[in-house]
Amino acid sequence: MKLPLAKKSFSSLLCAALFIPQLSFAVNVASDKSAPLAEETPVIQNFSFTPDNLNAENLLPSPFDLEKLSGVLEPEMPSVKADLKARIIEPIFQAAKALPVARQSRAPFQLQNQQKQKFSFVSTIQSLFKKFRAKDLVSAKSPSVGALFDGENLAVSALNPVSQDESERAALTLLLKTAVNAGTDLESWGLPNSIAVQGRYLRYAKLYRMSGQATDLGIALHEILKPLVDADPHFLSRISQSQLNEAVSLAEFSTHYSLNPAAPGLYARHRLLRKNVSTGHDYPEWRSALVLRAQKILSTPAAKGDRPARLIPVPEEKRPTKILNTILMETLTTYKDKQAELKAASAKDQEKLNEEAAQIQSLLFSLLSAMGRPISIQGQARMISVTHDQLPIILKELNRRHVEAAVSEALVRSFPLGESLWRMGIPALWKKGLTGKGIKVAVIDNGIDPEHPDLASAVSKVVNFTRDRGDHAKGGHATPMADIIHAIAPEAEILSYQALSNTNLPGVTLDGEETNQAVLNSLEAAAKDGAQIINLSLGAAGGYSSDEISRKVDELSKQGVIIVVSAGNSGLNLPAGFQVGTPGTSESAISVGAMDYHHAPADFSSHGLVFNPQKQTVEEKPDIFAFGVNVKAATQLPEEFYAAEPAPYDYVSGTSPAAPHVSGAAALMIQAAQKAGIAASGSLIPFAAKTAMIQSAKRFGNIKALENVSAAIKSFIKLLS
């Protein structure tokens, strides 16, 4: 007997994962109605630019080596009236050159005097004058040049619409100086670049970037700590971890009392939105009150038994930002030398030299991206998109140089998914050559956006089983799920199958019966296309292990496909036996619950007993827990935004992001077995993968956490041997 599912259906997991209002599609497994035929979309690889002559002259300024800012753009600047140039442009260039650091990039600028203005993402002064008439340039809100740092995404704003008021320019100058000084101090005091922020849900946020500049949170924490450290240089050695946690929370809270739409600290999506709707606000008296409160907490002697914060000053020569900058500049020199060698080489030697030059360039661009260093190409400031496949390239160089582990840790944690990667021990597996190469992972969801810079080289196939078209076929849910897999297994091949609609348009949106069929069609197509792992960050509450989709999961598992499913976001709100969503109820599926980075199970994560009416058995689900609280992964935005926000990322929570952590780990497990020469097939593969993960799981209270992937791999190979 087929049982109808609750109307929340597959949307409930998807929406709760991102904390957005639920969409109005449903699933009913009692239907035989077919979904639309699949539509396969060609995958277009992102264009990657290469400067004609990358050198110290067109590598834009950083905290380490300020060079003239105006010279970057001035050669390409069209002729303008001398009085406009002298009165508007030159003073801004002069102010920027006086800073200890200034950077520019292809980040967006907003034209405030036009409604629904589209962002022009790689514009410089040249395009500015094309878009504005001379009289517009003298208005109260005429655009100006400023190098502005963001909080998390390594982007900066090359052009920003602020008034030419002298006080505003002074405030901007102070902001830039503050970011540099704060970042330098925080690192020298021994504070990590990524730190836990307590709230309703725990998250890790950056205090400073590998460029050495503090984020908005870092600036706020520095404001709290600086007077105390100045008064007593040994002050930080006496505070406890709980005192530091409270100070960080208050610092984070204080950032909400000030908003400059042009200032650092806003996440990509929020910054773009707020630039359109906000002129900013500031409550200095409340920020001061929070600072004083934090300082009082820190100045009180730590309670007996409190764990010390263990903040140990770091000498300059051991600071990760300085070490990475040295490696960057040495790599730049090597790159230039190799280019010169190529020019003088014979035709016989050029093939080998070209190969060597390509490897050096790959390392160079990866370092530039990781450190947020924009470069100048044809007079325009460009940022190289941050992508997770750059991380293994840099780590390989650090290993070659025998750089201290602290530098590698800081680098890994500076990447969007860095906290997960470091805690799961993924960099150590990359060192062994386990990157997911040759493994196919399917994502059945609401459609991956293959144009996101972090996924452009990973997504090899896009198939649509819905009626969505255009930008409706690029899902804000599927994209971060695929990105988590890619971050863990950067060389795995990702296949996208859209089974969920992204619209509420009558006639376009799939109804529940059609969605059910689309999921079934996607499962069959993924297996036919050779997927060894299928990720299902979706589900319907109240299902059985014998419903139609669960039976299909069991069928594919017998063929050797590992199927990973989110357990659901209903917590314990549903009746006993119905908490875990289908197809996470499937006997052979690896169902995944969500925990935070301190191994606490999320209150929304579904867990409970699942009844199998065919076998008359009861099984506890989920099988494993993985990181699913404030996980930072790719944010899906309209294509043109990717040029403005180099590979934007944002936080996602739910059992949805927990599942791809397991799928990515499974890709490394299969590759490891292949490298070991083990030729297993059929149901043994998914059974061994599931068993290995459970056996090697770390126990934290009542949960089994997938954290030591290396141990899971050893167990997997042993079970297959």
pLDDT at 18: 34
Strands 39-41 and 459-464 turn out to be antiparallel
**1 within some domain:** no
Q: Specify the pLDDT at position 407.
A: 96
Task: For Cα atoms 33, 39, 43, give the angle at the middle one, nearest 5 degrees.
Answer: 150
Both 245 and 337 in a single domain? no
pTM for the complete prediction? Answer: 0.79
Instruction: Supply 443's token pair.
Output: 């994502």
Task: Report if residue 227 sits inside a domain.
Answer: yes
CA–CA distance, 351 with 392 (Å, rounded to integer)? 25
Query: Do 408 and 535 belong to one domain?
Result: no
Three-state SS for 205? strand
The dihedral region occupied by 443, where left means phi > 0, alpha psi between -120 and 50, and beta the remainder, is beta
Q: Mind giving me the DSSP string for 546-557?
A: TSHHHHHHHHHH
C-beta separation of 391 from 370 below 8 A: yes
- Give phi and psi for 631, each to the nearest 5: -90, 130
Sequence-distant (≥ 6) Cβ neighbours of residue 368 within 8 angstroms: 59, 328, 375, 384
Count Cβ atoms within 10 A of the Cβ of residue 228 and give its class: 0-12 exposed, 13-18 middle, 19 or more buried. Answer: middle
Q: Would 682 be classed as within a structural domain?
A: no
DSSP structure string for 79-114: P--HHHIIIIIHHHHHHHHTSS-----SB----TTS
| Domain that includes residue 563, residue range | 9-31+436-674
Residue 458: inside a domain, yes or no? yes
Task: Return the structure tokens found at 673.
Answer: 């077995």
pLDDT mean by block of 10 residues, the chain; 721 residues: 36 36 28 48 38 43 33 32 42 41 28 26 28 28 25 30 50 70 94 90 90 88 95 93 94 82 48 54 86 94 91 94 93 88 82 87 90 66 80 96 95 96 97 96 96 92 94 92 97 96 90 90 97 94 72 94 93 71 88 94 87 74 94 86 73 94 98 91 92 94 93 96 87
**Residue 240 and residue 186 in one domain:** yes
Give the CATH number of the domain where residue 25 resides.
3.40.50.200
524 and 653 share a domain? yes
Distance CA 563, CA 585 (A): 12
Q: Which helix (H) or strand (E) holds 194?
A: strand 194-197
Residue at 697 is within a domain? no
The crossing angle, in degrees rounded to 10, of helices 320-344 and 347-370 is 160
47: in domain: no
Q: Which residues lie below 8 Å from residue 378, measured CB to CB, with a gap of 6+?
A: 52, 76
Residues 273 and 159 in one domain: yes
Does one domain contain both 301 and 340?
no
Angle at 209 between CA 208 and CA 214, to 5 degrees: 35
Q: 221, 223, 73: which is closest to 146 by C-alpha?
A: 73
Q: Distance of CA 211 to CAs 153, 188, 397, Å? A: 12, 14, 18
Residue in 301, 291, 298 with CA at minimum distance from that of residue 243: 298
Q: Please give the DSSP secondary-structure letter assigned to residue 74.
A: G
Distance CA 325, CA 322 (A): 5
Same domain for 103 and 148, yes or no, is yes
Same-domain check for residues 83 and 230: yes
Domain boundary among 262, 297, 314: 314
Q: Point out the domain boundary residue: 674, 690, 707.
A: 674
Q: Rounded to 5, what percent of the chain is helix, strand, coil?
A: 45, 15, 45
Are 233 and 266 in a shared domain? yes
pLDDT at 261: 59
Q: How far apart are CA 712 and CA 721, in angstroms?
A: 14
Which of 652, 674, 696 is a domain's end point? 674
**Domain total for the chain?**
3
Residues 91, 21 share a domain: no
On the 0-12 / 13-18 / 19+ scale of CB atoms within 10 A, 51 is middle
- Three-state secondary-structure class, residue 713: helix
Q: Which amino acid is it at 208?
A: Y
Hey, CA dihedral for 514, 519, 522, 524, is it positive or negative? negative
Cα–Cα distances (Å) from 29 to 5, 298, 583, in that order, read 7, 57, 11
pLDDT of residue 251: 93
Q: Check residue 41 and give its pLDDT.
A: 53
| Per-residue confidence (pLDDT) for residue 517, from 0 to 100 | 92
627 with 658: CB under 8 angstroms?
yes
- Mind giving me the DSSP string for 498-532? E-S-----TTTS--HHHHHHHHHHHHHHHHHTT-S
Structure tokens at 216: 């908005």
d(CA 506, CA 452) in angstroms, rounded, equals 29
CB 262 within 8 A of CB 157: yes
Give the CA radius of gyration of the chain.
26
Q: For residue 105, what pLDDT is reported? A: 31
User: Is there a contact between 23 and 11 (Cβ–Cβ < 8 Å)?
Assistant: yes
- The length of the chain is 721
Cα–Cα dist 495/447, whole Å: 10
272 domain-assigned: yes
Q: What angle do CA 502, 506, 508 make, to 5 degrees?
A: 50
Instruction: Pick left, alpha or beta for residue 67 (phi over 0 → left; psi -120 to 50 → alpha; otherwise beta).
Output: beta
Residues 565 and 627 in one domain: yes
Please report the pLDDT score of residue 49 as a whole number: 34
Q: Are residues 258 and 280 in the same domain?
A: yes
